Amino acid sequence: MKAPAFEDVLVGQEIPVLVKGPMTTAHVMRWSASMENWHRIHYDWRYATEHDKLPDVMVNGSWKQHVMVQLLTDWVGETGWLWKISFQFRGMNVPGDTLTAWGRVVRKEERGPYGVVDLEIGLKNQKGDEGTPGTASVVLPRRDGPAVPYPFDPGALGVATA
Amino acid sequence: MEIQVPDIEKFLAGLVGPVGKPDTMAVELGAVRKMAKAVEDFDPIHYDAAAAIARGYRGVVAPWPLLWLFYFNGTEHSIDFPFGKATVHGEDEYEFHEPVIVGDEIAMQMVITDARLKQGRSGPLGIVVEERRFTNQLGALCAVLRTTLIRR
């Protein structure tokens, strides 16, 4: 897939989804180990279900965030930059779930020599329930414009550096 | 006796400010590969230095949620709330600037930027925003991670 230029993007457009799963306890365990997150709700079924009254062990919030980061970095490709992303944890996900990360363009704006595109994003399970709604802003090059700076500096957009 | 609202507000206001000293950690190849594999992200920039350099990076690129490895390895920190029953991780927000590269020494500083009481449907909620800034050995800001905790 060709990386989009700012002019290629339309408000209302859906970006290609990224599907992961079905999730297994092995996914949850590997992720917990790679992050050293030893919260028992991620690996101790009895603790999760009996002590915390959860339906099963929980898929990690940060695993879900990575899927949504990957959704956007895949879409903007090597020429764009994922600048900001935010998520709200509204729903739980458990082993057995298949997760579909999606994004929809809600705004686009020329900023300096570049373009900023704002998206609504989310992560639905196989029943279509939205569990992790959020927003993201990506910076894209204009068709005949300069490359997006790397490393990325928001000063290039004429905004104050974080 | 149950703690009163003015005391809760005073407690929350007292949380705002830097927490601990900056904590520094090296970015290891094994950690990066393990994390990329765990999420089934097979982009070679997360595995192979030559592939990453060919695409303009300084070296093997860490997946952004590697920041959570620093989070869980950083100085132990928990807030002992004198009210409510449970603390929920409500929301996260990231800003990305300079990629985190294998071999980097990343310094993390945490600051509580906001702590206030909000009236929820089922009673008062404590809202605490923790901000972690990640800077590399070159002095470049890599990322900012803001986490909103809800105490209810």
CATH of residue B145's domain is 3.10.129.10
| B131 in Cβ contact with B141 (< 8 Å) | no
d(CA A35, CA A81): 24
Residues of A in contact with B72 (CB under 8 A): 35-38
Residue B28's pLDDT is 96
Predicted pLDDT of residue A151: 77
- The β-bridge partners of A108 are A117
B90–chain A Cβ distance below 8 A for any pair: yes
d(C-alpha A35, C-alpha A62), whole Å: 9
Mean pLDDT of B94-100: 94
Q: Does B126 contact chain A (CB < 8 Å)?
A: no
Comparing alpha-carbon positions, the chain A residue that sits nearest to B52 is A78
Fold classification of A6-157 is Thiol Ester Dehydrase; Chain A (3.10.129)
| Pairing state between β B141-151 and B87-96 | antiparallel
B63 touches A at CB < 8 Å? yes
Yes or no, beta carbons of B92 and A63 under 8 Å apart: no
Determine if the peptide bond prior to A22 is cis (ω within 30°): yes
Scanning every residue of chain B, which has its alpha carbon at the shortest distance from the alpha carbon of A34? B35
Residue B1 pLDDT exceeds 80: no
- A93 to A43, A57, B91, B93: CA distances (angstroms): 14, 9, 16, 20
The H or E element that residue B6 is part of is helix B5-15
CB A92 within 8 A of CB A131: yes
pLDDT of residue B65: 84
Which pair of structure tokens corresponds to residue B91?
A: 């929301």
B13-56 pLDDT, tens digit per residue, is: 999 999 988 889 999 999 999 999 988 889 999 999 999 999 98
The distance of B90 to chain A (nearest Cα, Å) reads: 6
pLDDT tier at B127, thresholds 50, 70, 90 = very high
In Å, how far are A25, A31, A59, A93, B29 from A22, measured between CA atoms? Answer: 10, 15, 11, 11, 28
| Distance from C-alpha of B138 to C-alpha of B41, rounded to nearest angstrom | 27
Mean pLDDT over residues A57-79, rounded? 93
Is residue A35 within 8 Å of residue B35, measured between CB atoms? yes
Cβ contacts (< 8 Å) between A37 and chain B: which residues?
A: 68, 72
What are A40's two structure tokens? 């028992």
Q: Quick one: pLDDT at residue A161? A: 52
Angle, vertex CA B14, rays to CA B67 and CA B74, nearest 5: 20
Q: Any CB–CB contact under 8 A between B47 and chain A?
A: no
pLDDT at B126 over 90: yes
Using the Cβ of B31 and the Cβ atoms of chain A, whether some distance falls under 8 Å is answered with yes
Q: Where are the beta strands (DSSP E) in A23-154?
A: 81-88, 99-111, 114-124, 134-141
Contact A34 B63 (CB under 8 A): no
Mean pLDDT across chain B = 91
Q: Chain A residue with minimal CA distance to B98?
A: A151
* Residues A106-142: tens digit of each pLDDT: 999 999 899 999 999 999 999 999 999 999 999 999 9
CB of A92 closer than 8 Å to CB of A55: yes
Question: Does ipTM surpass 0.95 in this model?
Answer: no
Interface of A with B in 40-69 (CB under 8 A): 61-63, 65-67, 69
User: What is the number of structural domains in chain B?
Assistant: 1
Q: Check pLDDT > 90 for residue A46.
A: yes
Helix (H, G, I), strand (E, B) or coil at B89: strand
Predicted local confidence at residue A22, as pLDDT: 96
Query: What was the pLDDT predicted at A160?
Result: 60
Phi/psi of residue A160, nearest 5 degrees: -65, 140
Q: What pLDDT is attached to residue B89?
A: 85
The whole-model pTM stands at: 0.89
Q: Give the model's pLDDT for residue A24.
A: 96
B39: nearest CB among A31, A36, A161 = A31
Compute the distance between CA of residue B140 and CA of residue A149 in angstroms, rounded to an integer: 14
- In chain A, what are the domain boundaries? 6-157
Question: pLDDT by residue (tens digit) across A79-113?
Answer: 999 999 999 989 999 999 999 999 999 999 999 89
**CB < 8 Å from B in window 121-160 of A:** 150-154
Domain span holding position B84: 5-151
**Do A36 and B73 make contact, defined as CB atoms within 8 angstroms?**
yes
Q: Is there a contact between B100 and B142 (Cβ–Cβ < 8 Å)?
A: yes
Token couple for A162: 């974080």
Per-residue pLDDT at B121: 81
Select from B34, B92, B140 the Cβ nearest to the Cβ of A34.
Answer: B34
